[in-house]
Amino acid sequence: MKRSVKLSSALCAAALLATALAGCGSSNSANSSNAAGSPSGTASSASASPAAQTDSADIPTLVWWTIGGNIPANFDKAIEKMNEYTAQKIGVKIDIKVANWGEWDNKINTIVNSGEPFDIMFTNSSKYNQQVAMGAFADITDLVQSETPDLYKSIPQKVWDGAKINGKYYAVPTYKDSAVTQYWVFDDKYVQKYGIDTGKIKTLQDLDKPFHDMKAGEGKNFYPLSLTQGDGFNGFFNGYDDMTLGLPPIGVKVDDSSRKVVSVLEQPDIMANLKQLHQWYQDGIINPDAPTKTEADPARPFFSAQAFPGAEANWEITSGVEKYDMFQVFGPLMTTSTIQGSLNAISANSKHKEEALKYLQLVNTDPTLRNMLAFGEEGVDYEKVNGEKLVRRKTDTWPLAAYTQGSFFDLAVTEGAPEDQWDQVKKLNEEATSSTILGFAMDITDLTTEVANTRAVWNKYGAELITGASDPEKVVPQMVKELKAAGMDKIIAAAQQQIDAYFKS
């Protein structure tokens, strides 16, 4: 009898404890959710009240979902400082919600599908097309030109074209290193030791001799070309525009004026390169566990990456290698996919579409806001070295990534990188050639089954193919057979039809 009384009172006590402390939890969050406000609540008038009046009842707080890391302790404070600034400048405040790198995929799908209110959302080529097809985003084509002409003009037409779906803009593309420029990078130590002439290296085959020299000199357990599962040889399919499908086997050759959609794996240039990779795998140039290795070694003798001038300084610091020799091998090229590396869209159900655009305009044109957003709390996370043009970072805990937010061209250069870094990037953008199908994004609403199943085939064989582990002469025919069975031809035909119709006008 006694024991049972003890038991039940213990359970009751625990339940009470739960109530009390859950109350604590919600009052903590109540503070932050009050700050967030819900867009449906506050000032519903179309244009935000400008200038001096800081009556907080009239200043809407927009919700911006983005991707990033773990939130540091001073996050709220930094956002507050930003809000003070923007409330005074354009009468808008922001509540930034961060989905972590690992959970972004799932979490954003849930937020969008469940109809949870938001105003601005970061997205990229992996989701943009599909989210627009679902009707999640607002058509801002007219709005951005009429309400925020500065924003519209700050981004070149070519880059806007990358955000077009069916001829309309559904997001603000982020103007950064929007063209892909591929660099191959050697650890200088090996360049010196083996007399590698990087000026002469233009194609994959040109790398053969240097790699073999390095292997012969360094020994059995040395792998000149260290690859990983997800990446393979970075930039391998650069020559083919994937129409934002994200399926390497289907694409259009970027300089093909006839815009023919082809089965990429069967193209002679791709096949020759795949064979080269396989040869290297067998010769021990590539690490044998590449198809299952998920993380790259920090200090590699050679790697391939998309970059811009000055990047090697960054790499040298983070990897501990003394000097990197990098040389350009491809590009700069703009495709719809490269532009869609980062976009910020406005929710179709947002009650503050103009305010949201005005906020994005400020981000893309005002260096003060831009730096706060990219680096954190001034004085704590970074300090100005030369106005808003050059900064020194003091912490590495700021969770937001600059490339997800807005233009690089009102952003400060960080100490250690070349001072004209952004000018050089801009130059690359302006020199960039465009893919012949720039502006075209494929509509897959009737092809969901085929896309899902072809993706499954690519997943099944892809990793070993792009790391050279499997023999392309055997695997590619097998893959193509399965791809066709999964509906690849249907996708190609539909894509061709859409392209022809799109470019006829």
Partner 1 sequence: MAAGPKEWTGAERFNRIGTGPNILLNVLFFLLALSCLVPVLVVLSTSLSSEASIRESGYHLIPTAFSGDAYHYISKQGSMILRALAVSLIVTVSGTAIGIVLTATMGYALSRDQYKLKGLLTWIVFIPMVFNGGLVSSYYINANFLGLKNTLWALILPLAVSSFNVIICKTFFKSTIPDGLIESAEIDGAGQFRIFFSIVMPISLPLIATIGLFLCFGYWNDWFQSMLYIDDQKLYSLQALLNSLMSNVDALAKNASSMGVSYAALVATMPKESARMAVAIIIVVPVAFAYPFFQKYFISGLTVGAVKG
Partner 2 sequence: MKTQTGRRRSGLRWRKLDTELTLLSLPTTVWYILFCFLPMFGIVIAFKDFKIYGGFLSNVWNSKWIGLKNFDFLFKSHDAWIVTRNTLGYNLLFIVLGIVVPVALAIAIGQLHSKRAAKVYQTMMFLPYFLSWVVVSAVVWAFLSFDKGIVNQLLVQMGKDPVNWYMEPAYWPYFLIFMNLWKGVGYGMVVYLATIAGIDGSYYEAAVIDGASKWQQVRYITLPLMKLVIVMMFILAVGRIFYSDFGLFFQVPRDSNSLYNVTTTIDVLVYKQLKTATVGMASASAFLQSALGCATILLANWIVRRTDPDSAMM
Name which of residues 285 to 304 contact partner 2 (CB under 8 A): 287-289, 291-292, 294
CB 63 within 8 A of CB 350: no
Residue pair 340/162 in contact (Cβ under 8 Å)? The answer is: yes
Enter the tokens of residue 16.
Answer: 């009470």
Q: Take residue 494 and report the two structure tokens written for it.
A: 């539909």
Task: Pick the binder of partner 2 from 316, 482, 490, 496 (CB under 8 A).
Answer: 482
Q: Which of the listed partners (partner 2, partner 1, none) does 134 bind, with a CB threshold of 5 to 8 Å by partner kind?
A: partner 2
Q: Which of 116/142 has CB closer to partner 2?
A: 116
Q: How many angstroms separate the CA atoms of 453 and 456, rounded?
A: 5
Among 40, 106, 282, 292, binds partner 1 (CB under 8 A): 106
For residue 456, the number of C-alpha atoms closer than 13 Å in the C-beta half-sphere is: 10
How many residues bind partner 2 (CB under 8 A)? The answer is 43
Q: Which of 134, 216, 317, 385 binds partner 2 (CB under 8 A)?
A: 134
Using the rule CB under 8 A, is 464 a contact of partner 2? Answer: yes
Subset of residues 2 to 61 that bind partner 1, contact rule: CB under 8 A: 3-4, 7-8, 10-11, 14-15, 17-18, 21-22, 25-26, 28-29, 32-33
Q: Is 495 in the site for partner 2 (CB under 8 A)?
A: no
Instruction: Give which of partner 1, partner 2, none residue 296 binds (C-beta under 5 to 8 Å, depending on kind).
Output: partner 1
Placement of tokens 């897959």 in the chain:
444
Q: Given the complex with partner 2, which of 134 and 493 has the nearer CB atom?
A: 134
Structural tokens at position 17 = 């404890």
Reading the block at residue 288, the tokens are 């044998």
Nearer to partner 1, 298 or 387 (CB): 298
Which residues have a Cβ under 8 Å from the Cβ of 285 and sit 6 or more positions away?
211, 212, 215, 223, 224, 225
Work out how close the CB of 220 gets to partner 2 at its nearest, in angstroms, rounded to a whole number.
Answer: 11
Q: Which stretch binds partner 2 (CB under 8 A): 81-89, 126-134, 402-410, 422-430?
A: 126-134
**How close are the terminal C-alpha atoms of the chain, in Å?**
86
Residue 452 lies near partner 2 (rule: CB under 8 A): yes
Q: Which does 295 bind (CB under 5 to 8 A by kind): partner 1, partner 2, none?
A: partner 1
Q: What is the DSSP string of 273-311?
A: HHHHHHHHHHTTSB-TTGGG--S--SS-SEEEEE--TTH
386 to 415, contacts with partner 1 by CB under 8 A? 396-397, 401-403
- At closest approach, how far in Å is the CB of 367 from partner 1? 19
What are the two backbone dihedrals, phi and then psi, of residue 458, each rounded to the nearest 5 degrees?
-60, -40
Q: Which residues lie below 8 Å from residue 100, measured CB to CB, with a gap of 6+? A: 67, 68, 69, 70
